[in-house]
Structure 1
Amino acid sequence: MSLYRAETRRLMKRRFTKVLAIGCLAILAALAVGTFFTNQKVGPAAIAAAQARANEDYQNALRDTEQQKQQCVAAQGTERASDFPPNCEEITPPSQDDFRYEWYMPATFSFRTNFPEMVLALAGILAMGAFVIGASFVGAEWSSGGMMNLLLWRPQRVRVLGTKLAALLAGIGAFTVVVSAVWTGLFLLIAALRGSTAGMTSGAWQSIMLLELRAVVLVVAAAALGFGLASLGRHTAVALGVTVGVIVVFQFGLATVLALARVKFIEAYLIPVWADAWLSKQVRLEDYESCNFSATQGCMPDTLTITWQMAGGVLAAVLVLVVGAAMWTIRSRDVT
């Protein structure tokens, strides 16, 4: 049996891999069930009911405004005059546009509008699972001594580690593609039963497919990152410890220091913003403490746009650094 087939078989047969994969699927299933039961299909009856509620609230607001105006007029010259504006004509009734019936509609799942958010949730859940699976896949062998035994009959160190990584990425990638396809079909069904699939043009489908492709890349990258960190530290706990350290230092400590230093665009130094930019194509940050005066728009804050190309470059650089270091260390360090 080839080394690649053996590593693929080992990945699929590991109890930890199965448990974590089932756990991720259970979370996704709960999210889908929750979406199904918290949305409903909107018909003429629901629209009519929403219009009736909007009109009722509008009429009530008109009556309340008229009462306040009458009380204002009656209070003139009395102690209560201070409770109202000096000119009672300033108490104006609301507009019909302030009570749009769309705001009274029940929740309904629009596939075109809401499904991208579900893809982001899918990517986040699977990426976390892939990171842990990737770390444990190689970390467990280092800590148990299995790597040393394997290198006795396969002494090509870089080739062995590279084959393990290839088997991991192929397995995680295939699993993510299958889950993504099922996820899309499941929410298409939810939209058909509890919402709408209107507006799904060829361009809309292309946008969703590209979003899911970027999600697959993110999940595979998370697996590679976990694998690389665990291989560098030769233990699964090292990858998890580095992750916790990065979260504590960069997400909380660094953000606090930058805020105290009044650094612009603090969010640009935080990891989730770059992941969001990769998936959502771009993230626009604003510095509300700055002011660029415009004669037509007033005071406008400075902005910084992080594109998916920028996020992809950062992600690629991190992977090259971590995985490259793992390959270099297994070639240069003693296997003990």
Structure 2
Amino acid sequence: MNLFRAELSRLLARRFSHIMLIGMVAVFGITVATVLASSQKPTAQTWADAESAATSQRSSLLQWQANCERAKDSGEAEAQAFPEDCRTRDPNEIEAEDFLWGVFVFTHEIRGLAVFLVVYLSFFGFVLAASFVGAEMGSGGITNLLLWRPQRSAVLGAKLAAVLTCVTAFAAAFTVLYVGTFYLIAVGAGWVGEAPPAFWSDLITMCVRGVAMSIAAAGCAFALATLARHTAAALGIVVGYFLIWEAGARIVFEIVGALPYDPYFLSSYLAAFVNGDLRYWQGYDGSGDLVITQVTGGIVVTALTAALITAAFANFRRRDLA
């Protein structure tokens, strides 16, 4: 029997896989219900109020820009309180849909919802992968499997391929369902908003990066569970890292004033990869910007995943499984 198909069948038949799937659907349902309950189709009065608020905001911005330019032209002392460029924002960019309170505006909200989706898909991939191989390691089931197929790399590779295939297929399908559902909510009980081709291109690429992040999370979890030989150990390593380093070390850096510290934390690179270039430091004069780019974030994620998987295979090939 094909080893990959056998592992894929076992993964899909696991009760824990079904529980994770039910949990994903339940959280998705709660999110949808919350959005539906807090949104309504904009009425004529809603549009009138939004247009009034937008007009007021444009007037305020124009007045501020006029004050800024007048102060700089006259060389007044208060000119230092204004930025170097008085035209930091075009008043025409302020639209009425920005002030549709109590209305779900798809183009405004979907990016934040997509970030939540990435986090949840990554959690799903991590726990599913860690539990799959961790249970085999902890119970000795993988030792029995090696008696039937005494090829360690092939056996572990089939398990990894099965996990990554399932996570990829589920993450892609769930992402389409997720974005499509909120688009339909905006059509029926909210407002879609201005959605030029550039918006859709940015949203699609962000969703693709989200799927890639869930795959990377699954790969890292698989490797950690293989190295530690238990699901709980893999989860403990990640929880310990975020509690001790991501939380504790940040507090220490703040206390000692060691700024900026963002490049020393994995979360900075994850955020840059998913959400775009991360600007984490800017001088008071507007110069000296420091940025973690999306490409850098992707390189870090890829390198970490590859390193852990390589270490897991190397360790699995030479260690005693008894």
Equivalent of residue 182 in structure 2, options 167, 170, 187: 187
> Residues of 1 paired with 2:290 and 2:229: CA distance?
39
Spell out the pairing of 1:39-50 with structure 2 (5 A cutoff). Answer: 39-49=39-49
Residue 28 (structure 2) aligns with: 28
Residue equivalent to 2:221: 226
Deviations, residues 239-283 of structure 1 (Å, cap 9, x unaligned)? 011011101221122212322332222233233322221111211
The letter for the 1-side match of 2:295 is Q
Residue 170 of structure 1: aligned partner:
165
Partner residue in 2 for 1:85 = none
TM-superposed deviation, 1:155: 0.9
The AA in structure 1 aligned to 2:174 is V
- Shift of residue 104, structure 1, vs aligned partner: 6.4
- 2:310 aligned partner: 324
- Is 1:213 the equivalent of 2:208? yes
The aligned counterpart of 1:251 is 246
Q: Aligned partners of 1:268, 1:30: CA distance in 2, in Å? A: 35
Q: How does 1:24-173 map to 2 (within 5 A)?
A: 24-49=24-49, 105-173=100-168
Q: Which runs of 5+ in 2 are unaligned?
A: 56-90
Q: Partners of 1:206 and 1:180 in 2: how far apart?
A: 15
Measure the CA separation in 2 of the matches of 1:31 and 1:217.
Answer: 23
SS of structure 2 residue aligned to 1:285? strand
- Cα separation, partners in 2 of 1:101 and 1:198, compared to 1, 3 Å: closer
Change (3 A) 1:322 1:103: closer
Change (3 A) 1:199 1:47: closer
Larger Rg: 1
Report the AA paired with residue 319 of structure 2: R
Structure 1 range deviating more: 261-270 or 118-127:
261-270
Cα offset for 1:103?
Answer: 7.9
Given that 2:274 and 2:294 are in contact with CA atoms closer than 8 Å, whether structure 1 keeps it comes out as: yes
Aligned length: 284
- Give the secondary structure class of the aligned counterpart of 1:255: helix
Instruction: List gaps (5 residues or longer) in structure 1.
Output: 56-96, 292-298
TM-score by length of 1: 0.79
Paired residue type of 1:278: F
1:52, distance to aligned residue in structure 2 (A): 7.9
CA RMSD of aligned residues (A): 2.3
Moved more, 191-200 or 225-234: 191-200
Deviation string, structure 1 residues 85-142 (Cα, Å, up to 9, x no partner): xxxxxxxxxxxx9xx9878642222222211111111111111121111101000001
User: Which string of whole-angstrom CA distances, capped at 9 and with x for unpartnered residues, describes residues 40-73 of structure 1?
Assistant: 2223221335678999xxxxxxxxxxxxxxxxxx
Question: Are residues 147 and 184 of structure 1, via their aligned partners in 2, closer, same or farther at CA, if it must alter by over 3 Å?
Answer: same
Q: Which moved more, 1:104-113 or 1:176-185?
A: 104-113
